[in-house]
């Protein structure tokens, strides 16, 4: 019997569920899972998660938080609670994101990461099962560098270019999440093109470039392709270290019967490691980012989008618990 494309892909790549939907994670049984503020907000809107939200709110209240701080603490507790529930269903790691509003503040990012880990520890979750998810700004990468030096593993997200990937490698980051679909969206709009074949898909090519750079330089940071628009994009990166895929695309892959062939492998790398000749400084990183209009725009819009999603969750919580009347002057 022919294996599904999903099962074939699992033989080549570690498949991660890009979801906070507990039923979808239970169905597809990925090794790892990733969450973000948008996914947490969507999950919090589902009636079956009402008890989880109420428990998070009561915990924040019992800790003495009030007003705006009560809402912020509830969001952090809820984010971790979703992570705890996900970890009950998977064998591997869950990625939990730091508040995107802190993306340009190194010290605040470090502090928030440690707060989230402390919450996980109260639920008996070991640190090695958590990846702290941080936006790939210079400040975020430096925060992750400091955390990694303390043994706290990080997942650098909203990554759109080789300069970001190089900075992460130099910071000894555990894992990066280069985006595919958002790059494709940007180029389709910028170049007024309706469709790219997979071998010319700018998002797929971006991840391939990063993969080859990492393997040629024997960089140990794991690469997890993210933000997919189609199963063709997913299969176009078969052989990548990890791929994080939404439940709807996992369902399509499960129904697909095509033969899956590795598009990436360590054999593509050169036999002898090359050293990175010129390490990036803050100035060269920012200059390269600003020169790359696509990466610059997508990084900022991604941060803005995650901030907005957290604000939407804040509004949902205020409405659910009748807090507006208490908080407004």
Sequence-separated (6 or more) residues with CB below 8 Å from residue 135: 100, 103, 156, 157, 158, 299, 302, 303, 306
Residue 210, both tokens: 């990063």
Tell me if 18 sits within 8 A of 246, measured CB to CB.
yes
DSSP state of 16: E
What DSSP letter does each residue of 254-322 carry, written as one string?
HH--PPP--S--GGGS-SSPPPPSS---HHHHHHHHHH-HHHHHHHHHHHHHHHHHHHHHHHHHHHHTT
Residue (of 164, 87, 159, 100) closest to 129 by Cα position: 87
Place of tokens 């700004």: 137
| Active-site annotation holds for 27 | no
Indicate which residue of 81, 133, 145, 208 is catalytic.
Answer: 133
Local structure of 106: helix, strand or coil: helix
Active site residues per annotation? 133
């Amino acid at each position: 019997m022919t294996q599904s494309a999903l099962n074939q892909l699992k033989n080549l790549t570690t498949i991660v569920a890009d979801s906070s939907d507990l039923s979808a994670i239970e169905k597809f049984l990925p090794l790892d899972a990733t969450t973000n503020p948008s996914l947490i907000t969507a999950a919090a809107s589902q009636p079956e998660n009402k008890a989880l939200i109420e428990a998070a709110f009561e915990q924040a209240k019992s800790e003495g938080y009030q007003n705006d701080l009560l809402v912020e603490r509830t969001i952090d507790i809820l984010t971790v609670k979703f992570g705890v529930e996900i970890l009950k269903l998977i064998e591997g790691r869950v990625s939990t994101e730091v508040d995107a509003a802190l993306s340009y503040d190194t010290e605040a990012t470090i502090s928030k990461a440690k707060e989230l880990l402390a919450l996980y520890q109260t639920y008996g979750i070991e640190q090695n099962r958590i990846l702290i998810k941080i936006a790939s700004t210079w400040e975020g990468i430096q925060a992750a560098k400091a955390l990694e030096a303390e043994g706290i593993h990080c997942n650098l997200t909203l990554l759109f270019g080789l300069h970001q990937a190089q900075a992460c490698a130099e910071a000894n980051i555990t894992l990066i999440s280069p985006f595919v679909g958002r790059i494709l969206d940007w180029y389709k709009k910028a170049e007024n093109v309706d469709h790219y074949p997979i071998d010319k898909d700018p998002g797929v090519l971006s991840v391939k470039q990063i993969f080859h750079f990492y393997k040629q330089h024997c960089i140990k940071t794991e690469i997890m392709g993210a933000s997919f628009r189609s199963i063709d994009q997913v299969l176009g990166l078969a052989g990548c270290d990890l791929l994080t895929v939404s439940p709807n695309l996992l369902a399509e892959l499960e129904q697909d019967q095509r033969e899956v062939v590795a598009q990436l492998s360590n054999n593509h790398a050169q036999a002898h490691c090359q050293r990175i000749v010129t390490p990036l400084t803050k100035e060269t990183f920012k200059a390269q980012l600003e020169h790359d209009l696509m990466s610059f725009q997508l990084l900022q819009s991604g941060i803005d989008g995650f901030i907005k999603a957290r604000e939407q969750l804040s509004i949902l919580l205020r409405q659910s618990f009748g807090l507006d009347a208490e908080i407004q002057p």
